[in-house]
Amino acid sequence: MGQQTSNEASVIGHQFVAPYPIDIIVESNSKGKFVVTDTENKLMLKVKPCDSTFHHQRLLLSADDKPILMLRDKILSSHTRWNAFWGKSTSNSDLAFSTKTPSIIQFRKSLHVFLADKTSSKGVCDFKIKGSWSKKNCTIYMGDSSTIIAQMHKMQKSKKVKSAKGKFMVTISKNADYAFVIALIAIVHAMKSTEDEYAEQIIASVGQVVVATV
């Protein structure tokens, strides 16, 4: 894991950190597949869904398909927890970081991130995500502070971007780890997809009950 300094938020590796702000484009689909490029359409990262029988999972890959992180939900968790493991591992000894919602009942969208080798004080999150996935306005902060390391934006058509469908842009602050940012966004996307899936199941169940009682 990359070591953080006061001027750098390197979690996955220094190779994913630039000394200046950068914009990256994410093309996603409803299944959780991401293709990440720069503004010149150069491939940077990929995210592929790889759900198991009991877990929702996403695999973060380099441009040449080398596994970087396995993102996996934690079942039977009241705080909607996800764990990120190095490579394709799911072993606790290979834990890179974990995320959880700060409360069981969410009145405001928020997600706390804790590094496996914590750099913050005990009980304080190392990073925080706030905002709405559906509105594409999520923001990632350093710890419990107002320091922004990345912001998500809706994609606008331009000469370089002919179609904005299924795409959004993320502005990465200087010295911030863009692979780590993409991993967090993939988790947020997976959480939203899971919520939608459960909602559809509930609606379908209610519909069946109504039909059965008519």
CATH number of the domain bearing residue 163: 2.40.160.200
Query: Quick one: what percent of the chain has pLDDT higher than 70?
Result: 78
Q: Look up residue 133 and give its two tokens.
A: 């996935």
pTM: 0.84
* Structural domain containing residue 81: 21-213
- Residue 85 is which amino acid? F
Average pLDDT over residues 43-52: 95
Query: Quick one: what percent of the chain has pLDDT higher than 90?
Result: 58
209 domain residue, yes or no: yes
Half-sphere exposure of 196 (CA within 13 A, CB side): 11
- Angle, vertex CA 148, rays to CA 16 and CA 83, nearest 5: 60
pLDDT of residue 93 exceeding 50? yes
Length of the chain, in residues: 214
Contact between 138 and 188 (Cβ < 8 Å)? yes
Q: Look up residue 62 and give its two tokens.
A: 């380099």
6 domain residue, yes or no: no
Q: How far apart are CA 55 and CA 113, in angstroms?
A: 20
Average pLDDT over residues 17-46: 94
pLDDT of residue 66 exceeding 70? yes
Tally the domains of the chain: 1
7 domain residue, yes or no: no
11 domain residue, yes or no: no
pLDDT-derived band at 212, boundaries 50, 70, 90: low
1 domain residue, yes or no: no
Residue 77: which residues within 8 A CB-CB, separation 6 or more? 100
**pLDDT digit string, tens, across residues 2-25:** 444 445 678 999 999 999 999 999
Contact between 145 and 173 (Cβ < 8 Å)? no
Average pLDDT over residues 73-86: 84
Question: Closest Cα to residue 60, out of 91, 30, 32, 29?
Answer: 32
149 domain residue, yes or no: yes
pLDDT of residue 155 exceeding 50? yes
Q: Which residue has the higher pLDDT, 176 or 78?
A: 176
Q: Look up residue 43 and give its two tokens.
A: 């491939």
Classify burial at 5, counting beta carbons within 10 Å of its beta carbon; exposed 0-12, middle 13-18, buried 19 or more. exposed
Contact between 117 and 103 (Cβ < 8 Å)? no
156 domain residue, yes or no: yes
Q: Which residue has the higher pLDDT, 177 or 74?
A: 177
Average pLDDT over residues 20-46: 94
Please give the pLDDT value at position 211.
Answer: 53
Beta bridge partners of 24: 38, 170
pLDDT of residue 202 exceeding 50? no
52 domain residue, yes or no: yes
